[in-house]
Amino acid sequence: MADNEFQGSSGSNEQEQHQQAVRPPAPMQGGPLGGIDPEAVCRVAAGLAGEIDPARATLRVVLDSSLERDLGFDSLAKVELLSRLEKMSGLTLSEEILTRAETLRDLTRALAQGTAHDRAAIDHHGTAIERDEQRAGIADRALTLTEVLRLQTQRAPDQPHLLLYGAREEPVTVSHRTLLDQATAIAAGLEALDVQPGASVALMLPTGLDYFFSFFGVLLAGAVPVPLYPPLRPSQFEDHLRRHRHILNNCQALLLITVAEARPLARFLKAQVDSLRRIVTVEELQKAGTAFTPVSASPEDTAFLQYTSGSTGIPKGVILSHANLLTNIRAMGRAIDANPRDIFVSWLPLYHDMGLIGAWLGSLYHGCQLVAMSPLAFLVHPERWLWAIHRHRGTLSAAPNFGYELCLNKIEPPQLDGLDLSSWRLAFNGAEPVSAETIARFTDRFAPHGFRPEAMAPVYGLAESTVGLAFPPLGRRPLIDRVQRQPLLERGLALSAGEDDPHPLRIVACGRVLSGHQLRVVDANDHELPERQVGRLQFYGPSATSGYYRSPQQTKTLFHGQWLDTGDLGYLAGQDLYLTSRVKDLIIRGGRNISPYELEEAIGEIEGVRKGCVAVFGNADPTSGTEKLVVLAESRSRDPGMLANLRERIINRSVDILGMPPDEVVLAPPHTVLKTSSGKIRREASRELYAQGRIGQPPRAVWWQLVRLAAGGLAQQARHSLRLAASTAYAGACWLLFGLLALTMGPVACVLPSARSRWRVARLAARLLARLTGTGIIVHGLDRLHTKAPLILVANHQSYLDSLILMAALPLRFSFVAKAELARQTVLRHALARLDVVFVERFDFKQAVDDARRLTELAAAGRSLCFFAEGTIWRMPGLHPFHMGAFLVAADNGMEVVPITIRGTRTKLRSESWFPRPGQVHLFIGPRLRGEGVGWEAALSLRDRARQQILRHCGEPDLGGEES
């Protein structure tokens, strides 16, 4: 007995209405229509639409705007519109006009007594869009990523946005229009598979067209993309899938989009992730859907989940909203003076925030062209990156420090003949510790090829700040601080080293904090430290995440009041940030704090050691009460004599740098040192490998890894089957109890003579059903119903259980207001009528207006009424727009409105499902609200105040800006 509210009849073809609605108003020819100014009619309608839904305040209202579809007017809003038009025109019109009117043009014709003339509409790609054609900052008015794509497509639909290098020599070109069209096809496929807004969809795709199309396809469908990195080496399948299993379970992924070749591997994940319903390819999605209904998003909605690389532990899902992303992209754009003339060349993985946000989404926002290649192509042939910059006259590019190092070590001089890097104005270096040595060598090596020293830009960022947090000033060469070694290691003081200091530490400045953000250095008690004192880095600003997804404990440790802990150690000097270490990587040895970075870099320079494949970490030593200093280094050599010599040189290098030898040096074969998807050393995982005694052991055979994964999947499936059996038994018991109560107490309630006694029996049945099914109903604020005056109860609507829950929990007697469709079922109509349910029409406008008057009369007679203000049940979570009926009845009769928030029934029994699940339900009864005066304005105020109360407790997103 739910879906209520009264709305006017549509009776027209929705597609035709929509096509009309998007047209701009035609130029006015011949002045007003019969004395009625069409622009004035549009202004009145626009003002009312903005009052009803602030999200429509900027809506472009035209004569062909549909009253229902475009303006969101229900029956009572149409009545208010008619009233305002009558005041404006001085005419008195029949309500029959609104029964027939579908657009503002219909109303204008009626006001003009049929004197309106048709005018040719112009194509919707003209006028306002053309005026913005040359505007560089067109995306500045976007509130979401999907709006950015749409705005850029409107501005320049056929402009090449993406040039993607694959197997062929020539890149594939993708325009804004192609990106939007292909993404829309995927969104339609997701919608056809019943992927609801807010659901998590994992992307395990290599760099390619499928990734670009899928990411925006998921966004257009209102779902949340979760980037994953595909496996690279078969020897690491087990470790790879174990980490992905954690991510997929944490984000409760509904779908996994991957390539056909990875499906067999992905099935191992499906067996161990309960929420994972399907594994699909992009091709299958594009074939699955046809029509697509756009899903609106708000700036506060989660845009995607960026899982941390896990270099220091289990990956955590950083929640990034559309507002976080756009704020960060804009701030970075200001710092680097980004403009549409820039060309970004990138090999960075799209599952990593630096490649996804910094390179791709930043390029899309600023109207830049992105030249992309796969990370594997760069790793095998790093010269291709530089030649792509040369060929396309790239101005922006980025890489972690190891990327620049790879160019130094793997590119031979003949491969650089004719190379010109003079167009490269900013070479970002971030995502891992920046080496002063690498900066100097890269600048020297490529200066003859046009690379300028001031182009090298060490930067700092982290996923918790979306991606970027600190950038150097434009035109400045890298700033390198020479500090005294001992004071830094022993007391955390970054004292400047003199020219005669033989072993200074060289620390690279990583820039200044972005505008609108703040950065500080604190001690263990969160007390801010002075300049050149090493401590923990904390930040805050509009790019900051709201926390880690479904990880409340980790979120709690992230926040220190308004400040977020980066997990990094560093110091400030002037306005610049200098990083010294990760907190979790710090090794405490003999009372000294040892950072692993410098030692790893120095050992990597030793001939015979694989550069970039050294891990320095601490391992607890119970005998000394401190940590053992362990050096794990990869070497291709297997000769005992050479390995002994290598071990001695590593010890000597450690003594030179730290003044102490390592406690243990472990030389291991290639691919032993574990790394993240972005190439960072996974020190914690390497330490675990060392502690388990598995260093040097050959990796498990692929077949054995698959057997272990399959066994784990079978165990997971067994547990899943048991849970399914238990939930099925519970659902069956619920329906059995419902049937028994309906058969025994239903007839009794119907035949009792008084309405009060019938209500008591129905309430008893509802309470028994809740108790017998184990449904705990927790009511907050019950004392707010203690009054003898009749009330208007207004609740949100999550499930068909809502009416039973309200009946069982609330002590007062009231009448539900329900949709007239329920009255068309004879048995149900009789039963509900005996419980004083009031039926209202939603589609017949004239009847809906009559029903509104009848409700007003019942309220005036002292009857309490209960409305579900959203008007119907929606499958997707969220608080939808409220209809005005309840609030107009309350305002016109001087009755108090009691907002009631229902929370938990959607989980127990979702719309379109007949499978109830166990769980508690909470009711939050808000303070009684009284209108200030009568009429539309008072009703609007009541609606907004009641909705705010319900939104505070419902635990679901605000979908008030979407069409109802």
Q: What is the pLDDT of residue 837?
A: 85
What is the DSSP secondary-structure string of 274-292? TT--EEE-HHHHHHH----
Query: What residue has token string 């308004």?
Result: 562
pLDDT, block means (10 residues), the chain with 964 residues = 34 35 32 61 85 72 77 76 78 64 77 41 30 53 94 94 89 96 95 92 93 97 91 56 86 93 78 88 88 86 85 77 96 95 95 93 96 90 96 96 90 95 96 88 97 97 95 95 87 90 89 93 92 94 94 92 93 93 70 70 85 82 67 87 88 78 86 70 76 67 60 65 83 91 84 85 92 93 89 92 92 85 71 81 64 82 89 78 87 91 89 83 93 85 92 80 38
- Number of domains comprising the chain: 3
For residue 290, what are its two tokens?
């046809």
In terms of domains, do 97 and 158 share one? no
In terms of domains, do 84 and 151 share one? no
* Residue 671 placed within a domain: no
* Residue 180 placed within a domain: yes
Based on the number of CB atoms within 10 Å of its own CB, is 565 exposed (0-12), middle (13-18) or buried (19 or more)? middle
Task: Identify the CA nearest to 614 among candidates 676, 682, 567.
Answer: 682
In terms of domains, do 210 and 355 share one? yes
Query: What residue has token string 């280094």?
Result: 633
Q: How far apart are CA 609 and CA 210, in angstroms?
A: 38
Taken in order 552, 557, 563, 566, the sign of the CA dihedral is negative
Query: Distance of CA 886 to CAs 8, 49, 794, 817, 953, Å?
Result: 16, 18, 7, 9, 20
- CATH, residue 95: 1.10.1200.10
Task: Identify the CA nearest to 542 among candidates 814, 363, 331.
Answer: 331
- The dihedrals phi and psi of 942, each to the nearest 5 degrees, come to -60, -45
**Percent helix, strand and coil across the chain, each rounded to 5?**
45, 20, 40
DSSP class of 701:
P
Where is the domain boundary, 69, 94, 111?
111
In terms of domains, do 75 and 201 share one? no
- The dihedrals phi and psi of 14, each to the nearest 5 degrees, come to -65, -40
Q: To which H or E segment does residue 894 belong?
A: none
Other beta carbons within 10 angstroms of residue 882's beta carbon come to 27
In terms of domains, do 60 and 208 share one? no
In terms of domains, do 41 and 149 share one? no
Residues in the chain: 964
Q: How far apart are CA 886 and CA 904, in angstroms?
A: 24
Under 8 Å CB-to-CB from 544, ≥6 apart: which residues? 324, 464, 465, 466, 564
* Residue 758 placed within a domain: yes
Domain that holds residue 881: 726-954
* Residue 964 placed within a domain: no
Q: How far apart are CA 697 and CA 689, in angstroms?
A: 10
In terms of domains, do 148 and 102 share one? no
Where is the domain boundary, 314, 344, 372?
372
- CATH, residue 233: 3.40.50.980
Number of continuous H segments (helices) and E segments (strands) in the chain = 32, 34
Tell me the β-bridge partners of 840. 819
In terms of domains, do 196 and 91 share one? no
**Cα-to-chain-centroid distance, residue 481:** 38
User: What secondary structure, in 3-state letters, does 329-368 show?
Assistant: HHHHHHHHCCCCCCEEEECCCCCCHHHHHHHHHHHHHHCC
Where is the domain boundary, 345, 372, 399?
372
Q: At what angle do helices 702-751 and 263-270 cross, to 10 degrees?
A: 50
- The dihedrals phi and psi of 308, each to the nearest 5 degrees, come to -60, 155
* Residue 541 placed within a domain: no
* Residue 447 placed within a domain: no
Q: What is the pLDDT of residue 903?
A: 92
* Residue 815 placed within a domain: yes
Q: What is the pLDDT of residue 625?
A: 55
For residue 960, what are its two tokens?
């008030």
* Residue 887 placed within a domain: yes
Q: How far apart are CA 610 and CA 382, in angstroms?
A: 17
In terms of domains, do 59 and 196 share one? no
Q: How far apart are CA 439 and CA 539, in angstroms?
A: 27
- CATH, residue 936: 3.40.1130.10
What three-state secondary structure class fits 847? helix
In terms of domains, do 152 and 269 share one? yes
In terms of domains, do 749 and 887 share one? yes
In terms of domains, do 784 and 911 share one? yes
pTM tops 0.85: no
